[in-house]
Structure formats: C-alpha cells, structure tokens
Chains A and B, each alone.
Chain A
Amino acid sequence: MPERTVAVASSVGLHARPASLFSQAAAKLGVPITLTSASGKSVNAASILGVLSLGIGHGEVVTISAEGDGADQALDSLTDILNTDLDQA
C-alpha cells in the first residue's frame, strides 16, 4: 500500500487549525486515507476527532497511507500539507 512518512511541520502540531485543514483536505480527496502516529495508532485522516485524538506534536513523525486509484497523488498532496507550517498560513 502506498504510504508516506512525514514530520509534522506546524508549530502547534497536528492540532487546531492544522488538524482541521489536514482533515478537510483528506475528506476531499475521494480516497480513504489512514493516518498513523509514531506509536502505531491509526485513524481515518478525514475524521477531525480521529486526528485530534492522536495528539501529534510539532516534529512528530506520522505515516499516511491509502489504497486505490489516485492514492499516490492524494498522499503527495497531504504530504505537502504536513510539510507546511499551517499556523502561519
């Protein structure tokens, strides 16, 4: 299954605004995306509650994975989001 491993760039981590923007983007991709924390917990990336529940801080490494048509493209676009400091955006 295609996956990407990324360190979260936002200074508050995957929380608040960055978490919302990440989840909204994941929901729009049309491909189910799984977000997994370094400790191995997985959630649906399109669920804001799921993303928030992981409590991922700045610089923490996460893995996103997806299956099916468009998976690679979807993961690339989410990787860009994780690589951006969205607190400043």
Chain B
Amino acid sequence: MAGEAEPALSSLLAVGSIHLTATATDREDAVRQTGRALLNAGAVEAGYIDAMLARERSVSTYVGEGIAIPHGTLAARDWVLRDAIVVLRFPDGVDWQGNDVRVCVGIAALGGGHIALVSRLARVLLEPRAASSLRMAVTEDQVYAILE
C-alpha cells in the first residue's frame, strides 16, 4: 500500500451530499435520511436503505465521538452503484440508544471496498480534532477539508 495514492475521501462526496442542518425524530429517521442522501447521490438503489435499517437494528453503527456511520449489510452490495459517502449533521443531536449523535456519515462501497473505505474513514475520525471539527462544521468546505 505504501506509496499508493488513494483518492481523497472527499472525492467520494457528490454534489449535494453534505447536509449541515438536518433534523431527525429518531435513529431510524436519521438512517433513512442518510440512505436517501446516498440514493439522491446516485450511489445506491432504493433497496440499500432497507439494508441500512436492517444493519442498524442488528448492531448500532455508532462509533463514538458523536458519530455514526450507517451502511448496508454485506448482502446489500448488489444495490450499490458506486463508492460514495454522504455527511448529515444533526445540530440538535439524535438519540442513538443513549448516545448523542451529531453526525451521520453514510457509506456505500462496491464489492469488497467497504472494509477499506470504513477503515480510512475511521483513521480520519480517530484524530479527536477531526471528529469535533466535523460535529461543528457549518460550511461544506470545512467538511471537505476534514475528509481530504
């Protein structure tokens, strides 16, 4: 992997994939909105949203730092049209089984690309300043900068 230039995560953000002032009534609503953002970005077919909900019910995609990363099950990869991420910020927070989620990063990846994509995203978010910057982001440019 050394020396291999991977495209920046931000290159997977389609136009219109960042929603900085979203509100959701609950976790399922937030996951559905995240799925719809992936659908609107042309990254997935509608069936992927149900798979995201199924995944979430199976085990929470909360990863700490006020961030959840909703994504489909392995079985749902046929619904994926291209690799993509979307960012939905919920300034009022969403109750995520007792955790306060401020940002959902929705993920779609073709075939086996899922693991590598989540791993790269996790490496970015492990830096505490990156996670807090994402929770506080008020412009799309800030989100792009974090995911560079």
Interface residues of A (CB under 8 A from B): 11-13, 15-17, 20-21, 47-50, 52-55, 57, 87
Contacts and interface: CB of A to CB of B under 8 A. Distances in A.
Interface string B94-124: 0000000000000000000011101111110
A49 B121 CA distance: 9
A55 B55 contact: no
Given A49-B126, A50-B126, A16 B119 contact: no
Contacts of A20: 59-61
B80 to A, nearest CB: 14
A13 B55 contact: no
A55 B74 contact: no
Contact of B122 (A13, A53, A57, A87): A53
B47 to A, nearest CB: 18
Interface stretch (B10-18, B30-38, B63-71): B63-71
Interface in B50-90: 55, 58-65, 71, 73-74
Contacts of A16: 55, 59, 61, 71, 73-74, 114, 118
Chain A contact residues, majority secondary structure:
helix
Contacts of B63: 48-49, 52
- Give 9 nearest A-B pairs by CB, closest first: A55-B119, A52-B122, A53-B122, A20-B59, A53-B123, A17-B59, A48-B63, A49-B122, A15-B115
Given A48-B64, A87-B74, A13 B126 contact: no
B125 interface: yes
Chain A CB within 10 Å — which of B71, B116, B126 has the most?
B126
A17 B119 contact: no
A59 to B, nearest CB: 13
Nearest to A17: B59
A16 B116 CA distance: 12
Contacts of B65: 49
A11 B73 CA distance: 12
Chain B CB within 10 Å — which of A15, A16, A20, A57 has the most?
A16
A21 B119 contact: no
A34 B122 CA distance: 17
